[in-house]
Structures are given as C-alpha cells and as structure tokens.
Chain A
Amino acid sequence: MPQQIDRVISLAPNLTEIVFAVGAGDRLVGRTSYCDYPAEAKAVAEVGDTLHPSLERIISLKPQLVLISTASQLEVFTQQLQNQNIAVFVTDPRDLDGVFRSIEQVGQILGHDEQAKRLVQKLRDRAGAVEEAVKQKQPVRVFYQLSAEPLYTAGHNAFVTDLMRRAGAISVTADVPGAWPKYSNESALAAKPEAIILPTGGSMGTGNLTVTEALRQSPAVLEGRVYKLNDDHLVRPGPRAVDGLEEMARALHPDAFK
C-alpha cells in the first residue's frame, strides 16, 4: 500500500459513497456505472459496471488503489491489477458493524482517520437510537420481496437481513441459505408475514410495486402493512444504510418514534 494515495478507483456504489463520506471524493478518478451517489460522483470517469469493469480503462487512469467489494467474483481481475502494481482493497461487509469497519479502514488508507471515526461515531449513535427505540417492541415478522415474478427474497447472507433485525423485525427468510435466494411461493404464503417490504425506486429501477400473488391474502396485505422503501438505502453497505435502518424502523414501528 503506497504511503500517500492521490488516485483511487471504486468498483462498487457503496465504496464510492464511503470515499465521499470520509471526505476523499476529490481523489476518486474512476467509478462504476452504478455509482450514482453523491451527485458529485457522476462527474468522475466510468470504468464499466461492478461485474464487468474495463481493465484497460482502469490502468489508463493510473490509480494507486482500487477498491473492490465482491472479492470472489473478481479474483482473476484482482490478480491482474496486482500484476500492474496497483494496490487492491477488498471489503465485503455482511452487517452494519462490517460497514462501520469498512468506513474506518477506507478512511485510514486515504489518510482521513479522524473524519472517518467521527462519521462512524455519528452513524453508530443514530443506529443505536433506532435499536433503543424499538427494543421494547414486539418484533414484526417481515417478508422482504426483492422481486415478485419470479419470487426473490433476502436470505441469510444478505446485508439487509441484519438491518431488519436491528429495525425491530424478524425476516421470515433469515435462515434461508445464500444472499438472494429464489423462494417458494408456497413457503411465502405459509410464513404469514405481518409486514412486507418492497424495495423500489432506487438505482434498481421503479418496478416491484405490487405484492406477489401468493401473499395477497397475507396478514401484511390484509392489515395494510406493505412498505415501499428506497432499495439503495437497504442493499448498499455504505453510510446510507443507517438511513435505510431508520426508514425501515419508522415504517414498522411508527409509534416508537413519536
């Protein structure tokens, strides 16, 4: 790792958000087409999308460091970067504590320790306040509908499963292996969720507005507890995950925030 890093490329939207949040956005020289936040990020050169970055463009941007989030899918790629003497930092946070660690690590690497620590402290306080507010509440049994047809949900390894737990909810699919499993319609119906979360409106598009047919008679639908939440806040393990946590907790436990 070089001492002073002036040129960084981020290959994931959450990492781009972290770089800007620790105050090092001016050193970002490359980003993916998914990196759309904050607005300043859009002025930075694109190097492809997260899974298909252009190695040529990355090398021509002469970065000292490349930040990567999904390590396993980019193994060969990482090797190629290292052969070019470009440092690679890999982080794949699975829960909110992992996000906080990533922020501190990125801050440290970029020489913004103090700013990162202050940011993490603020985020920790907000997350703590949410957890405190919902502590006395009966956890809500939630189904997270990533898409209706075919039915996809959040499994054990999904970052959002941890967020749901902190927001005073129990994901009915929390024990299903994998991050985004294709889920049985029957099992969704039998789970009788009390609330349904429809992530929508962010960079994944404006679809996913209706509950899947198998859940039309679920307690969640009958009692009107279907919540459309911004998917960017729920699935990106970055600073805005705390926004997602707050939005989810307020939707599920409105009386806890009066």
Chain B
Amino acid sequence: MITTASSITGQNRVTLRKTLVSCAVLALALLLAIVVMSLIGSEPLPARASLCALASFGTTTCGLSRDQFDILFQLRLPRILLAAAVGGSLATAGAGYQALLRNPLAEPYLLGISNGAAVGTMIALVFFGTNEWTRPLLAFTGALLATLAVYRLARGRAGATPERLILAGVIVTTFLSSVIVFVTTLMDATRIRSFTFWLLGDLSGSSKKLLPVTIAVAVVGTLALTLHARSLNLLMLGERDAFDLGVEVGRVRIVVFVVASLLVGSSVAASGSVGYVGLVVPHLARLSLGSDNRISIPAAALGGALFVIVADTVARTIIAPRELPVGAITALIGAPLFIYLLRRS
C-alpha cells in the first residue's frame, strides 16, 4: 500500500478540495440512485406521479393511489435508505480495518467480524426476543470481540501479513459459524428458515425502528473515521514510524476498532451479513481517488451506499415477486474481485 508523500508534507488545501469535489459528485450520484431506484420494484408505479410525490417529501400524493403511496413511502423508500446506511457502514468499516491493519484484504465479512455481530444478534433474538434495541447492542459487542480476536491472531512479529490475516479471519469465521449452527438448534423450525435467509444479508425485514439508528451510526461513524484519516495515513507507514511522527497509535487503534465494530454491528443487526461491500468499495475508491484516507474513507462511505442500493434493487426485482438475499448479489460481484486482489497482493 502506498501513501502519497504529499499527504504527509501537507498540501492540505488541494486535498480538501479534491475531497469536497469527489464527495459532492458521489453524493449527487447517491441522491440520483435513491430517486431512480425508488421507481423500480416488483410492483410498477407511475413514474411521473412517484417523482412528484418524492419531490414533495410525501406531503402530497400527486395522484398516486393509497396503495401505491404506501408502497413507495412505507416499503420501498425505507428499504432503500436502509440499504444506503448498511452499504455506507460496511464500506467505511472496511476502509478503516484496511488502513489500520495495512492490508487491502481486511473486510468485516471475510474477517468473521460480521459473524461476530450475527452471533450477537441471534443471542438477542433468542433470549430477548421482543426487545429490538438489544439487537444492535449485542451485535456491536459481538463485532468488537471478533475484531479483537482477529487482531490478536493476525499479529505476528512482522505485523499482520496478508496470509496471517486471512487465516485468522478463516479461523474466527468458521468458529463463529459453528456457534451460529449451535444457536439455531435453540430456535423453532420457522425461525431457522428465516435465519438462513437473513444470514446471507437481507434488507426486506421492515425493522423501521432501527432505521434512524442505523443511519445515525453510519453518518457518525464515517465522520469519526474521516477525522482520524490523517493518523491512519501515517499508520499505513507502519506503527513505529507513525508513533515517531506523533500519532497516538494506541488511541487511534481503539477508535477504529470501536467505530468499525459499531458500524458493522448496527448494519448486521438491521440486515444480516452483507458480504464483500467493505472489500469492493474501498478498493474502487482507492483505485480512482488514491490511497489518501481523507478522501478514500468518505468516498467509500458514499460509494458503499450506492453499491448496496443498486445490489438490493437487483435482489428485489430480478425474480419478482420472489426475492433474493442482497448478500448473494454483493458476493457475486465481490468474490471475483477478492480473488483478483489476492493474486495481486
């Protein structure tokens, strides 16, 4: 991984402008995607009336029938916003792990961190059934514990080499998968069916109460990591060098661990394990905008939102009125890219 010299010697104004421009472009694209994907679904809606209703933020129906209005504002739009929050969260978390572990293959799903959050969510569902708020809390706890486990396992004398990291991820993932299998035996048969689908990443669960929380965590988490982007840039040189350059390595590490675990936890609690987003999107962000985290982290957040919105639109329409789990679509795109990255690294 290359850190540009300019970002260290500080052409801050140039960087700031580049950040603002690329984020503005991505934000526009995201807004456009939200609007356009709102017009696509298993039930056809009249495009002009829908646009009119969207433009009025749902204050007028613009001639949409009651059902059409409900489909647009009660089902489709919340799901798209949830997709955006989940995508943004996972991509940001991925970018954070990659910077901290100095490894482009670090990804919440592949490292088993999503599985940690999934175990937390399942425990919440089995033991605290109706209380929705325990889900993100225990998911966060699970993600944090899994992160710490991977980190301890992956660190050798020479830092976290790609091989060690992936191996650590495999160990944590498979261990937690067995825990998941064990927990499912505590559930009744209908639940198990729902869970298999949910584990693959599914945005259809109308957890509307969790939507504002998921969005808030995505925004706050992205801001928090972006504010630490400069330290992360220095950390990519190596922890010792970063320390010599004045980075509080220990503190930054804790911040990234906690924030990334929060991001993974809230998105898994809302949608299960959507894989590969944290891998594909930060990689594309670095490829097109360079490896300066001040640009690539916010860009990854917006790009991740965009990616999952589009993937979920495919998932909910391609075999309509049936549906696929969105994780199947993201993995279909992500797995080949992962192999490509692995061969290059």
Q: Which of B74, B188, B208 contacts A204 (CB 8 A)?
A: B188
**CB neighbours of B75 from chain A (8 A):** 185-186, 189, 214
Nearest CB of chain B from residue A203's CB, rounded to whole Å: 7
**CB neighbours of A128 from chain B (8 A):** none
Q: How far is the CA of A117 from the CA of B135 in the complex (A)?
A: 54
**Interface status of B162 (Cβ within 8 A of chain A):** no
**Interface status of B204 (Cβ within 8 A of chain A):** yes
Name which of B253-261, B316-324, B331-339 contacts chain A: B316-324
Type the 1/0 row for A119-130, where 1 means its CB is closer than 8 Å to any CB of B: 000000000000
Select the residue from A176, A185, A192, A217 with max chain B CB neighbours within 10 A.
A185
- Which of under 10, 10 to 19, 20 to 34, or 35 or more describes the interface residues of B? 20 to 34
**A181-B322 CB under 8 A given contacts A187-B42, A205-B188, A217-B70:** yes
**Interface status of B189 (Cβ within 8 A of chain A):** yes
**A184-B67 CB under 8 A given contacts A190-B43, A214-B75:** no
Q: How far is the CA of A150 from the CA of B324 in the complex (A)?
A: 11
Nearest CB of chain B from residue A205's CB, rounded to whole Å: 3
Q: How far is the CA of A38 from the CA of B246 in the complex (A)?
A: 74
Pair A192/B67 contact, Cβ less than 8 Å: yes
**Interface status of B128 (Cβ within 8 A of chain A):** no
**Interface status of B198 (Cβ within 8 A of chain A):** yes
Pair B206/A207 contact, Cβ less than 8 Å: no
Nearest CB of chain A from residue B305's CB, rounded to whole Å: 21
**A184-B198 CB under 8 A given contacts A146-B190, A204-B189:** no
**CB neighbours of B240 from chain A (8 A):** none
Q: How far is the CA of A31 from the CA of B193 in the complex (A)?
A: 22
Q: Which of A173, A182, A189, A206 contacts B197 (CB 8 A)?
A: A182
For window 141-176 of chain A, which residues contact chain B by CB distance below 8 Å?
146-147, 149-152, 173, 176
Q: Which of B41, B206, B322 contacts A214 (CB 8 A)?
A: B206
Q: How far is the CA of A253 from the CA of B208 in the complex (A)?
A: 35
**Interface status of A224 (Cβ within 8 A of chain B):** no
For window 1-53 of chain B, which residues contact chain A by CB distance below 8 Å?
41-43
Q: Which of A149, A187, A207, A217 contacts B321 (CB 8 A)?
A: A187
Pair B206/A185 contact, Cβ less than 8 Å: yes
Pair A152/B323 contact, Cβ less than 8 Å: no
**A207-B191 CB under 8 A given contacts A182-B197, A214-B75:** yes
Q: Which of B41, B66, B76, B190 contacts A207 (CB 8 A)?
A: B190
For window 176-214 of chain B, which residues contact chain A by CB distance below 8 Å?
188-191, 193-194, 197-198, 202, 204-208
Nearest CB of chain B from residue A226's CB, rounded to whole Å: 17
**A150-B205 CB under 8 A given contacts A186-B42, A208-B190:** yes
Select the residue from A178, A184, A206 with max chain B CB neighbours within 10 A.
A184
Q: Which of B71, B190, B206 contacts A190 (CB 8 A)?
A: B71
Q: How far is the CA of A183 from the CA of B189 in the complex (A)?
A: 19
Q: Which of B188, B205, B322 contacts A177 (CB 8 A)?
A: B322
Nearest CB of chain B from residue A187's CB, rounded to whole Å: 4
Pair A183/B321 contact, Cβ less than 8 Å: yes
Q: Which of A147, A187, A189, A213 contacts B208 (CB 8 A)?
A: A213
**CB neighbours of B43 from chain A (8 A):** 184, 186-187, 189-190
Kindly list 9 other residue pairs between chains A and B, CB separation below 8 angstroms, not including A178-B322, A184-B42, A214-B74. A149-B205, A150-B198, A152-B193, A182-B324, A183-B322, A184-B41, A186-B42, A186-B75, A214-B206
B: which residues have CB within 8 A of A?
A: 41-43, 66-67, 70-71, 74-76, 188-191, 193-194, 197-198, 202, 204-208, 316, 320-324
Closest 4 CB pairs of A and B: A205-B188, A187-B321, A184-B42, A213-B206
Pull 24 A–B residue pairs with CB atoms less than 8 Å apart, ordered by A: A146-B190, A149-B204, A149-B206, A150-B197, A150-B198, A150-B202, A150-B204, A177-B322, A182-B324, A184-B316, A184-B322, A185-B75, A186-B42, A186-B43, A186-B71, A187-B321, A190-B71, A192-B67, A203-B189, A204-B188, A205-B190, A213-B208, A214-B206, A217-B66
